[in-house]
Chain A
């Protein structure tokens, strides 16, 4: 299966992905390749089906998640981002630190739920704004800017998860 993840799903490569089409094709492909379809076949075919299904799952997971999708697009364009790398945008890093501090202080607020709501909206706005930014610079072919944007997306997605976890805890 020497194809890109986009080709597997018959989707146009790019940051904007039609989630409905992705979900529908994912099901069509699984209908074809899920190991259950091969349960009464030979061991070899079962093994092959498992490997294909695993790759389809991996492709699906990658394309569904904005951060993984951005990283994959850059990889296809020959840009690898290692886990140790971080953005050099000092202003962004400062903003991240402040957001994190606010997250830590939420519990101490007079109305923690309201404080968290406000923070959640802000983080969500930053996250989707950065996604738009990535899409723009990627279309424009500016891979360096794309890489920097991916590094920021990683920060924001992590922060968003932490916000969600705290929302759960406060409930």
Chain B
């Protein structure tokens, strides 16, 4: 069957100024930014020519440093140098304790039970979100310098395995850095985009792709299917706390053992050991054997020796591959292509074991450190509207099941892992006391049956339930996961139609008030005017609203609206234009809201018309044969 010719709703009918969009790979160890320029996606270099920005932030009394300069201070000033901060994103105090020895920070005693860890530094307490925002700010700056102006949007990549809290934390960091997030994109999907576009020129049949992504701190395996320009994520799996850093630690502790060092090592020695281990690991990608020394000890490590040290860690990644294949209802023999991502896939033993497991040589033509950012840049270019979205569509899945707590501390799964997003599920609750007007819903993420074995995401409090006898109220709670993998919840009492108020208490993340406060703080630092920023944001949203409505009207306004409706819309648009040129952000928001109300019915009719159009030519009797 031929694909239907459909005019794309994303297409702008008139030539249009090119928008500035970047792809950002916010990595555990390294980060980088890329953009599509003159048709091809490339990583953007800093002034000194370096592309990789070490994900390191130093908080000194003299100010904040980011990147190589910060990393260089890790040895002398470990407590104020934030490394591998990605591991703490969206994590609670409890999780952090398990990293304690690996991340030698001083955590402030938290007085909020939200449990967001704060790290004491010479520049005051900072949260992982703030640290990540510093890294993003440097990359955004690099992007806007290279593209010649303020950025219109960014695609930021996250490990496919990131849960809701970790995704939310990443989005919060972007917001703090002043970035408009077009999409959070899973790293393996981004890598497949980078490769997939290249190879699609060869044309041809469906292909099933395994993306094996072993970075500094995380491992992801994703099984994707590419079919006529649609990338479908069939399943994902992995481990948010397994990566090349663990290779380094394993080798470092082997060196420590060989050198007869005790287990109680100070931070400086630990860092020195890790550096030595990392150098040895990298050298073994080129050489058969390396000489080692530490203090008085002299020794050597060869490839076979390192393989022995690392095999159990690599085996862990292969077990995750097996689970992901099972979730995709496939076997290793069904995989057509294997793509390697992440600096840790340079380790030869990893390549050997992966090749062995999948029975085919993996792709590694694109630099494994850059491939994610390059894919993200391509997708950013499409999402911001520079390209008609005709070429590629990414269908992603939720990485971990979402559930709610029920009686006895058990979880009831609402949305199974590997369900394609966006997704919505409604669940009905009832009151168990006469006159009850509020109830709490605890949302968790994970695969286990006991609530205590899953990650707590948030507690929602429903209020404003009309008082009724026990069991009479039927509260329909809708759990919605958007295309970024982020959860939102709404509730309504069915018999009365009253929508219940929801207060969200994220278990690990920041509340909106925290973000506002941090934004204010950062503006004070940057001496930027908060009001000016708010006005600009409102204006941008107004422009976007007006533009998309104009396009919609031109496409099928005449067909779907009567004269009265058209007239009302045009007056609403004029009012918004006036507000846009005035200087009042609140007024702009009011006008946007009013216009949205006016255009709601039109938008729905457009969607319904699109469905009809998409299904045109598929008459029912086609299947009678």
Contact = CB atoms under 8 A, between A and B. Distances in A.
A36 B483 contact: yes
A41 B615 contact: no
Interface string A22-56: 00110111111111111111111100111111110
A58 interface: yes
B611 interface: yes
Interface stretch (A7-15, A89-97, A98-106): A7-15
A36 B393 contact: yes
B596 A44 contact: yes
A53 B6 CA distance: 17
A11 to B, nearest CB: 7
Given A38-B10, A40-B548, 10 more contacts: A11-B620, A27-B230, A29-B614, A31-B230, A42-B545, A44-B545, A48-B603, A51-B422, A57-B421, A171-B322
Contacts of A54: 421-424, 480
B618 A25 contact: yes
A6 to B, nearest CB: 9
Given A29-B614, A36-B383, A168 B423 contact: no
B419 A57 contact: yes
B266 interface: no
Contacts of B153: 39-40
B178 to A, nearest CB: 18
23 contacts: A3-B611, A9-B615, A10-B618, A12-B623, A12-B624, A21-B618, A27-B232, A31-B6, A32-B6, A33-B611, A34-B393, A35-B483, A40-B383, A42-B548, A43-B596, A44-B599, A48-B603, A48-B607, A52-B607, A57-B419, A57-B420, A57-B423, A164-B326
Where chain A touches its partner, the secondary structure class is helix
Contacts of A111: none
Contacts of A50: 422, 480, 482-483
B600 A44 contact: yes
A170 to B, nearest CB: 13
Interface string B405-424: 00000000000000111111
Chain B: interface size category: 35 or more
Which 9 pairs of residues, A with B, have the shortest CB-CB distance?
A10-B618, A39-B383, A42-B545, A10-B615, A54-B424, A41-B548, A35-B483, A40-B385, A44-B596
Contacts of B574: none
A32 B153 CA distance: 22
B223 to A, nearest CB: 15
A18 interface: yes
A60 interface: yes
Nearest to B623: A12
Contact of A37 (B4, B9, B422, B615): B9
Interface string B586-625: 0000001000100110011001101100110011100110
B384 A11 contact: no
Contact of B389 (A29, A37, A58, A171): A37
B577 to A, nearest CB: 14
A4 interface: no
A1 interface: yes
B1 interface: yes
B142 interface: no
B482 to A, nearest CB: 5
A171 B321 CA distance: 14
A53 B422 contact: yes
A61 interface: yes
Nearest to A51: B424
Nearest to B10: A37
Nearest to A14: B623
Interface in B1-26: 1, 3-4, 6, 8-10, 19
B607 A10 contact: no
B24 to A, nearest CB: 16
Nearest to A167: B326
Contacts of B608: 1
B429 to A, nearest CB: 15
Given A10-B618, A30-B230, A39-B183, A45 B422 contact: no
Nearest to A168: B326
A30 B483 CA distance: 12
Nearest to B395: A30
A40 B152 CA distance: 10
A154 B331 CA distance: 25
B603 A43 contact: no
A45 B603 contact: yes
Contacts of A24: 1
A168 B330 CA distance: 12
Contacts of B419: 57, 61
Given A25-B618, A50-B480, A58 B423 contact: yes
Contacts of A30: 230, 393, 395
A95 B607 CA distance: 49
B224 interface: no
Given A32-B610, A44-B600, A12 B482 contact: no
A28 B385 contact: no
A156 B575 CA distance: 61
A39 B384 contact: yes
A54 to B, nearest CB: 4
A35 B623 CA distance: 30
A41 B545 CA distance: 7
A101 B604 CA distance: 53
A34 B623 contact: no
Contacts of B393: 27, 30-31, 34, 36-37
B422 A35 contact: yes
B394 interface: yes
A82 to B, nearest CB: 12
B554 interface: no
A164 B383 CA distance: 40
Interface in B374-428: 382-385, 389, 393-395, 419-425
Nearest to A20: B1
B227 interface: yes
A36 B394 contact: yes
Nearest to B389: A37
Interface string A44-85: 110011111111011011000000000000000000000000
